[in-house]
Structure 1
Amino acid sequence: MNDLVRIGLGGGCHWCTEAVFQSLKGVKKVDQGYISASNDTDTFFEGVIVHFNPEIINLEILIEIHLKTHQSAKNHSLRSRYLSAIYAFDKLQYAEAKNKLKRLSEQSLDFITQVHFLGEFKASREQITNYYKTDPERPFCKKYIVPKLELIQNDFVNYIK
């Protein structure tokens, strides 16, 4: 088995993003928190670090799921808090993410998602981590997280735990 690989993802509320990636086979851990890009380590956005086994789920599938589970094609008033981004840990990952976005854009899908090298990560306080797992009956979970989980259950059924 390969060692786990990490990728940073941001786009929407980190509670939603955390729940989506926790539901996938091959994802061993999801760190919820705030991420900065290497070119601007003073500005942080909500995001997650996904620790995954590439023998079970590859980066390309993770990126597709990420793009489909947040508003990756349009701006909105909360972009200053929720940057649509992929945060790479190395040059190979960066190139793979850029290539995946380019291929999807050629299919007439227009993404605003940016690819950056990860700068810093600050973990969320423990009281708000595992938000969906600790109480899926919360109104926020039902309104925002459940529809995202239903989407991936339909479109990525082979990757659901």
Structure 2
Amino acid sequence: MASEIATLGGGCFWCLEAVYQELKGILHVENGYAGGQVPNPSYEQVCNGNTGHAEVVRIEFDPAVVSYREILEIFFTIHDPTTPNRQGNDVGTQYRSVIYYHSPEQHEIARQVIACMAAVWDAPIVTELAPVPDYYKAEDYHQDYFRQHPMQGYCAFVVAPKVAKFRKVFADKARAEA
């Protein structure tokens, strides 16, 4: 089996991580930072908004089980791609909507999905589409965050509803143990 990588930013990485961990065909999800100018930034530097990085998830997946297109369709369902540098109360360039593609094929699929989504949303899609830049893994305490802290305030009020929406809309794609 040859796995593939998808790198996405759509607000706080905890939200995306929690959803994709429940998707069939996902082998690994890692939170990190991409798209900035500072090598190996810290969470505090990224939150400061001066490094240019986005909070992203790097998703390793089995394309025989889940397609890149399906991953992107879920992405556009669980975050708002019409708000520049913002997801809900999370405001700043680190929360921008972005797809970093790893191949010309991913670029083309992302372009097609964005065009389809433009017909679904009432406002223009502002999702950035760019080749994958340098990527830096986030600190260990950010990994597997929702599973470790489901009752933490942000998790309970922001992450959990996104996971619930995924489970409802994509029930047929959720892992049985989820």
1:81-127: per-residue Cα shift (whole Å, max 9, x none)? 11201110111111111111112224555311121111111111112
- Aligned sequence identity (%): 24
Q: Does 1:103 align with 2:102?
A: no
Q: Does 1:87 align with 2:86?
A: no
Question: 1: distance between equivalents of 2:97 and 2:149?
Answer: 26
Unaligned runs of 5+ in 2: 39-51
Question: 2: distance between equivalents of 1:51 and 1:126?
Answer: 18
SS at match of 1:68: helix
SS at match of 2:80: coil
C-alpha displacement of 1:41: 4.8
Q: CA RMSD in A?
A: 1.6
Q: How many equivalent pairs are there?
A: 157
2:142 to 128, 142, 146: 128
Q: TM-score, structure 1 length as denominator?
A: 0.90
Question: 2: distance between equivalents of 1:80 and 1:108?
Answer: 21
Unaligned runs of 5+ in 1: none
1:135-158: per-residue Cα shift (whole Å, max 9, x none)? 212121110111001101111011
Question: 2: distance between equivalents of 1:59 and 1:3?
Answer: 13
Is the Cα contact below 8 Å between 2:76 and 2:117 reproduced in 1? no
Return structure 1 stretches of 4+ with deviation > 4 angstroms.
Answer: none
1:46 to 44, 51, 55: 55
